[in-house]
């Protein structure tokens, strides 16, 4: 026997909250028979002799009156039975009429609709609690589409009921079923139906454009008439709640959709249907469906987002990084349930996997490292470039960079130390300096003076100058034929001789030159 509190909770959930009996069963841990018993009889009455009522002689008359007009009020019925001798109160009459009226209320009759192959799909949404992403709760929705003839079903779970998500689910269902029915029925969804007044229906203009692209006719059920698409109500969302959802654990959206696909392929579309007595997969006729368009339109979620100075743009609670050259500009972001792609007009910039956990940043390490390569303060100076160019191929680039970093950590001026190293290269040559730097690094001796000491200990300074290293490496590979300087000497001497032979011209004689002027004979 239930307590008074349990009986009150039962009636509150059923009559006030309008909970279905199956949900009350799970919530109160009661059987279906127990719930029905206490709904019909809130409290058990002790056994005893039934009490007579002043209404007993008139109950048959009251039933006949209510059968003629189920809407007749207790006051009107009282007016009819008082001339027959009823002298009871009005409250007992009202209670009795209220108790027996639902039993006499006529039930509505319906015509079963059995569409032909390829004639009708039915689509609907269902809410299925939420998924947890390390503390972030995301509502979970199920999109179901059922073929009216075969009961072949498509199921997809999402975290949104937006128009773009709604349309993408349609496209995925069409692709899975390999075709489109002539009509698709909806239960006045806001994404499909903008306004419904009686038999007048105004569809969402964007949804009509989608229907035109995929060549189907949308139909809206009458208001509060979900039975008009009962195949997706009971055999779609209802069957998912009953057969798929219980006793399952899910990691994320990908996992719940993976399990949903397995359930469709192994159970839902291969069961023996109670109405058709056939398996949906055997009854389904894809050849009767209309063909898909050759080019599938892009119905991803699309937003224009500003790239901030930190190279990040925000979308759905997360931050996505792009190359530094887009800072301060607006880029186009397109997202679906699996990916987030960023475009500059029609050119793809970068793409990321979709994350349903909020507060995450993606791509920061990659693009911040690229920024460090292009930032002027991070570039090497011209003196460093010259040093690396002279020592290119003679010592490891990584070893030279490590030596300069350790040199920068000392108290010495880095620019002055590099200038002194370049001077040592001019005096001793790049080969000797590269070898000396390696020895200095091994000895943990950081400074141009240490390198100079090593060079002085090993060899004498070079007298010849190292070849000039140009920035363009192709110019460093040019080879020219050496010319003799005797031709230039002969040209100079010939010019001096001609000037001596000219009348009236006197060649000045240098006081510091103790030799006689050259004779007319050619010294060469």
Residue 342 has pLDDT above 50, yes or no: yes
Among 57-71, 128-142, 312-326, 338-352, the range scoring the smallest mean pLDDT is 57-71
Bridge partners (DSSP) listed for residue 348: 343
Distance CA 470, CA 252 (A): 59
Output 120 or 196, whichever has higher pLDDT.
120
Distance CA 250, CA 424 (A): 69
* pLDDT band at residue 484 using 50, 70 and 90 as cut-offs: confident
151 Ramachandran zone, left/alpha/beta (phi>0; psi -120 to 50): left
Residue 510 has pLDDT above 70, yes or no: no
Cβ atoms within 10 A of the Cβ of 131, count?
Answer: 19
Query: Which of 150, 176, 147, 173 is closest to 273 using CA atoms?
Result: 150
Distance CA 492, CA 24 (A): 118
pLDDT of 49: 61
* pLDDT band at residue 197 using 50, 70 and 90 as cut-offs: confident
Could you tell me whether strands 120-133 and 183-186 are parallel, antiparallel, or unpaired per DSSP bridges? parallel
Q: What is the mean pLDDT of the chain?
A: 81
pLDDT of 76: 83
* pLDDT band at residue 227 using 50, 70 and 90 as cut-offs: low
For residue range 95-152, list pLDDT tens digits in order.
Answer: 888 888 765 555 666 666 778 899 999 998 999 989 999 888 999 999 999 998 899 9
pLDDT of 232: 54
pLDDT of 75: 83
Q: Which value, in Å, is the radius of gyration of the alpha carbons in the chain?
A: 47
Per-domain residue ranges for the chain?
A: 1-45, 53-107, 120-288, 301-374, 380-468
Cβ atoms within 10 A of the Cβ of 9, count?
Answer: 16
Residue 523 has pLDDT above 50, yes or no: no
Q: Any idea what DSSP says for residue 14?
A: I
Output 53 or 515, whichever has higher pLDDT.
53
For residue range 145-181, list pLDDT tens digits in order.
Answer: 999 889 999 999 999 999 999 999 999 999 999 999 9
**Which tokens hold the place of 297?**
């339109």
Distance CA 142, CA 123 (A): 11
Output 206 or 430, whichever has higher pLDDT.
206
Residue 476 has pLDDT above 80, yes or no: no
Residue 91 has pLDDT above 90, yes or no: no
Render 215-281 in DSSP notation, one character per residue.
T-EEEEPPTT-GGGGHHHIIIIIIHIIIIISTT---SSHHHHHHHHHHHIIIIITTS--TTTSS-HH
Among 63-72, 169-178, 254-263, the range scoring the smallest mean pLDDT is 63-72
- H/E stretch holding 333 reads strand 330-335
pLDDT of 455: 84
CATH class held by domain 120-288: alpha beta
Residue identified by tokens 């790049």 is: 430
Residue 222 has pLDDT above 60, yes or no: yes
Which range has the top average pLDDT, 33-37, 113-117, 158-162, 188-192?
Answer: 158-162
pLDDT of 182: 92
For residue range 358-407, list pLDDT tens digits in order.
Answer: 989 999 888 888 887 776 545 567 777 778 777 777 777 778 878 777 87
């Amino acid at each position: 026997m239930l307590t008074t509190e349990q009986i009150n909770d039962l009636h509150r959930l059923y009559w006030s909250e309008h909970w279905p009996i199956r949900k009350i069963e799970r919530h109160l841990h009661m059987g279906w028979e127990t719930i029905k018993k206490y709904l019909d009889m809130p409290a058990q009455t002790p056994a005893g002799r039934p009490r007579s009522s002043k209404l007993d002689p008139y109950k048959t008359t009251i039933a006949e009156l209510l059968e003629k007009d189920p809407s007749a009020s207790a006051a009107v019925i009282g007016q009819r039975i008082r001339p027959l001798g009823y002298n009871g109160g009005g409250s007992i009459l009202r209670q009795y009429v209220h108790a027996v009226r639902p039993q006499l209320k006529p039930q509505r009759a319906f015509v079963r609709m059995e569409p032909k192959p390829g004639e009708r799909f039915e689509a609907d949404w269902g809410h299925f609690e939420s998924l947890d992403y390390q503390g972030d709760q995301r509502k979970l929705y199920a999109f179901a589409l059922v073929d009216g003839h075969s009961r072949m079903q498509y199921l997809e779970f999402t975290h949104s009921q937006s128009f773009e998500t709604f349309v993408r689910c349609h496209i995925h269902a069409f692709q899975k079923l390999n075709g489109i029915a002539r009509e698709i029925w909806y239960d006045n969804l806001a994404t499909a139906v903008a306004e419904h007044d009686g038999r007048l229906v105004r569809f969402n203009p964007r949804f009509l454009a989608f229907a035109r692209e995929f060549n189907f006719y949308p139909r809206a059920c009458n208001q509060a008439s979900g039975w008009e698409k009962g195949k997706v109500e009971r055999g779609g969302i209802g069957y998912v709640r009953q057969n798929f959802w219980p006793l399952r654990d899910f990691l994320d959206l990908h996992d719940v959709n993976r399990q949903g696909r397995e359930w469709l392929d192994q159970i839902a579309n291969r069961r023996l249907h109670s109405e058709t007595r056939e398996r949906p997969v055997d009854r389904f006729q894809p050849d009767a469906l209309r063909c898909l368009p050759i080019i599938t339109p892009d119905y991803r979620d699309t937003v224009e987002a500003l790239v901030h100075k930190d190279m990040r743009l925000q979308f759905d609670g997360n931050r996505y990084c792009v190359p530094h050259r887009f800072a301060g500009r607006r880029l186009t972001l397109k997202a679906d349930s699996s990916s987030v792609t960023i475009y500059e007009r029609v050119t793809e910039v970068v793409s990321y996997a979709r994350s349903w956990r909020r507060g995450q940043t993606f791509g920061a390490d990659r693009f911040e490292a690229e920024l460090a390569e292009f930032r002027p303060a991070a570039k090497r100076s011209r003196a460093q470039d010259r040093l690396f160019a002279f020592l290119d191929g003679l010592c490891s680039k990584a070893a030279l960079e490590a030596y300069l970093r350790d040199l920068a950590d000392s108290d010495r001026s880095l620019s002055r130390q590099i200038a002194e190293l370049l001077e040592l290269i001019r005096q001793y040559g790049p080969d000797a300096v590269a070898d000396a730097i390696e020895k200095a690094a091994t000895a943990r001796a950081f400074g141009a003076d240490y390198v100079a000491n090593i060079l002085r200990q090993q060899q004498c300074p070079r007298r010849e100058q190292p070849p000039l290293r140009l920035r363009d490496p192709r110019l460093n590979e040019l080879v020219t034929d050496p010319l003799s300087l005797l031709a230039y000497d002969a040209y100079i001497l010939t010019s001096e001789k001609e000037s001596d032979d000219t009348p009236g011209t006197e060649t000045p004689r240098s006081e510091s030159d103790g030799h006689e002027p050259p004779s007319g004979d050619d010294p060469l």
